[in-house]
Amino acid sequence: MSLEMEHDCPSCGGSKQFWRTASTELHLGTKIKWRCSECDFGLIQINGIDSTA
């Protein structure tokens, strides 16, 4: 699994680099926490669905 990804940051605006900060296995799938490298905005993905959707 990758340690970085491109994603739209609602705080900075536009596509930014996000870094994976944590990963946990849940009964729903894999929970991954990401942080924007520019503003430290955080988002969570569970089984490929992110919290900004």
Which residues on neighbouring strands pair with residue 23, listed in sequence order?
32
Whether the CB-CB separation of 43 and 6 falls below 8 Å is answered with: no
Which residues neighbour 27 within 8 Å (Cβ) at sequence distance 6 or greater? none
pTM of the entire predicted model = 0.85
Q: What is the pLDDT of residue 2?
A: 84
Per residue in 14-27, pLDDT tens?
999 999 999 999 99
Q: Is the pLDDT of residue 35 over 90?
A: yes
Question: SS3 for the chain, per residue?
Answer: CCCEEEEECCCCCCEEEEEEEEEEEECCEEEEEEEECCCCCEEEEECCEECCC
4-48 carries CATH number 2.40.10: no
Q: Is the pLDDT of residue 50 over 90?
A: no
- Give domain limits for the chain: 4-48
